[in-house]
Structure 1
Amino acid sequence: MDNLLPVSVLALDPVLDAGAKSTLYGSPDIAMVLPHEPARVAVVIVDRVDDQVLHLVGTARGEAHHPEVVLVATELAPIEARRAIAVGARGLLRRREASMERLVRTVLAAAGGDCTVPTDLLDPLLDHRTDGRPAVAARPPWSGPGLSDRERAVLRLVADGRETGEIAQELSYSVRTVTSVVRDITQRFRLRNRAHAVAYALRGGLL
């Protein structure tokens, strides 16, 4: 038990609650705990992301033990993803993508400090403001030299929770190249680590 990651599940629908717990129980790395017990990660399962859900995410993040929050929603549009990140969600998944492997990977990534979002949301999150209009002039963190295509490709996979070796294999780069790309991004924008790079990209000039 001491070596397992304590994870709680919060769901407004008891069917969703039972399904998520059943999925996570199958992981040898995770120990399920009750919502009021200390958890490293809280998994919030919902149908749609509305004000009630955003309040639930913020409340979960504000618990005394400050768990990271992974939000799993049936529908997840870019504006909803931005709002969820703004109130403290560390990982985002759509329910149809939340296989056991994907959900566990997202939970473990959140516990390790990485920010994970569906890859198809990364560009919209970078390219639009919360009102849905282009954010060309409202994106100071990525102004100046911006990101190259290679940096964007690497950052997308970092946001998807991929490890360095997996990113290298996916893009046919060496591990050293991927490490160098991430280091260049963090140094250029004065960021702490790769999780900070993803979070900074998602928040920069958008919220």
Structure 2
Amino acid sequence: MRNTVRVSVVAVDPVLEAGTLSALASSPEVLPAVGDELPDVTVVVVDRVADPVLDLLRRTRAADHRPEVVLVATELSPPEALHAIATGARGLLRRRETSGPRLAHAVLAAASGDCTVPPDLLDGLLEQRTEDAGAGVADAWGAAGLSERERAVLRLVAEGHETSEIAGRLSYSVRTVTTVMHNVTQRFRLRNRAHAVAYALRAGLL
């Protein structure tokens, strides 16, 4: 790990932002980015992982200096965690479980390229990726909101097939394949086919 990590905080209110920075102050390896300094890691503190939060994660990761992101949420379910990781979050924490040392550890891990996820949440993600997840637990595709048809189309897109080839292989019309891809990109607020495939690959869905 590097000697010092610069961090910024984005929170739902200034008091929470100040409290988060204060919690990190106990770690000498983590310093707030001040003035024109660019953060190595941005901590995003939210209530729930909704579309605006995912948009914020994308914008943060897309900045020129491409900071890593640690997401701290009041509520964080396995499906929400799946979306957050696919969108670019490097660390995930629940607010009620987030002490200063634990947050600092997640920030330092993110800066070094590691990912931090609560053990029980990781178990939930692993359960979702099994073929037989058990009663009441959806598989990863279901948790991500993708149907069997959408999965089939995405897999063929990932293999490099054009729309007409996909239609022929799956016995769909070209219009159906186009509609499927449009629905996927719109639902998950993705830019294009390549972004949709990257999203699915990053989430471990392909």
Query: What band does the TM-score fall into relative to the shorter chain?
Result: 0.5 to 0.7
Query: Contact (CA 8 Å) 1:4, 1:30: kept in 2 or not?
Result: yes
Tell me whether 1:53 sits opposite 2:53 in the alignment.
Answer: yes
Letter in 2 for 1:54: L
User: Aligned equivalents of 1:98 and 1:35: distance in 2?
Assistant: 27
Stretch of structure 1 that moved more, 2-11 or 51-60: 2-11
Letter in 1 for 2:24: L
Query: Contact (CA 8 Å) 1:11, 1:45: kept in 2 or not?
Result: yes
Query: Contact (CA 8 Å) 2:7, 2:32: kept in 1 or not?
Result: yes
Cα 1:76–1:91 change in 2 (3 A) is same
**Cross-structure match for 2:157:** none
Question: Secondary structure of the equivalent of 1:91?
Answer: strand
Cα 1:111–1:35 change in 2 (3 A) is farther
User: Aligned equivalents of 1:97 and 1:36: distance in 2?
Assistant: 32
User: Aligned equivalents of 1:43 and 1:27: distance in 2?
Assistant: 15
User: Aligned equivalents of 1:68 and 1:5: distance in 2?
Assistant: 11
Query: Contact (CA 8 Å) 1:125, 1:202: kept in 2 or not?
Result: no
* Structure 1 consecutive aligned stretches of length 4 or more whose deviation exceeds 6 Å: none
User: Aligned equivalents of 1:112 and 1:63: distance in 2?
Assistant: 18
CA offset at residue 11 of structure 1? 1.1
Query: Contact (CA 8 Å) 1:49, 1:80: kept in 2 or not?
Result: yes
Letter in 1 for 2:72: V
Q: Unaligned 5+ residue runs, structure 1?
A: 139-199
| Higher-Rg member (1/2) | 2
User: Aligned equivalents of 2:106 and 2:98: distance in 1?
Assistant: 9
Query: Contact (CA 8 Å) 1:13, 1:46: kept in 2 or not?
Result: no
Q: Equivalent residues in 2 for 1:87-166 (5 A)?
A: 87-126=87-126, 127=128, 128-132=139-143
**Cross-structure match for 1:83:** 83
Cα 1:202–1:63 change in 2 (3 A) is closer
**Cross-structure match for 1:147:** none
User: Aligned equivalents of 1:36 and 1:61: distance in 2?
Assistant: 18
User: Aligned equivalents of 1:90 and 1:97: distance in 2?
Assistant: 17
User: Aligned equivalents of 2:68 and 2:116: distance in 1?
Assistant: 12
CA offset at residue 132 of structure 1? 3.1
User: Aligned equivalents of 1:96 and 1:40: distance in 2?
Assistant: 25
Give CA deviations for 1:146-177 in whole Å, capped at 9, x if unaligned.
xxxxxxxxxxxxxxxxxxxxxxxxxxxxxxxx
User: Aligned equivalents of 1:35 and 1:73: distance in 2?
Assistant: 27
Q: Unaligned 5+ residue runs, structure 2?
A: 129-138, 152-199
CA offset at residue 40 of structure 1? 0.9
User: Aligned equivalents of 1:117 and 1:35: distance in 2?
Assistant: 31
Letter in 1 for 2:17: D
Task: Report sequence identity in percent.
Answer: 54
**Cross-structure match for 2:173:** none
RMSD: 2.7
Question: Secondary structure of the equivalent of 1:115?
Answer: coil
Question: Secondary structure of the equivalent of 1:109?
Answer: helix
> Number of aligned pairs?
143
User: Aligned equivalents of 1:92 and 1:70: distance in 2?
Assistant: 6
Question: Secondary structure of the equivalent of 1:69?
Answer: strand
CA offset at residue 36 of structure 1? 6.8
Cα 1:201–1:32 change in 2 (3 A) is same
**Cross-structure match for 2:68:** 68
Query: Contact (CA 8 Å) 2:5, 2:30: kept in 1 or not?
Result: yes
Query: Contact (CA 8 Å) 2:57, 2:69: kept in 1 or not?
Result: yes
CA offset at residue 24 of structure 1? 1.0
Query: Contact (CA 8 Å) 1:24, 1:30: kept in 2 or not?
Result: yes
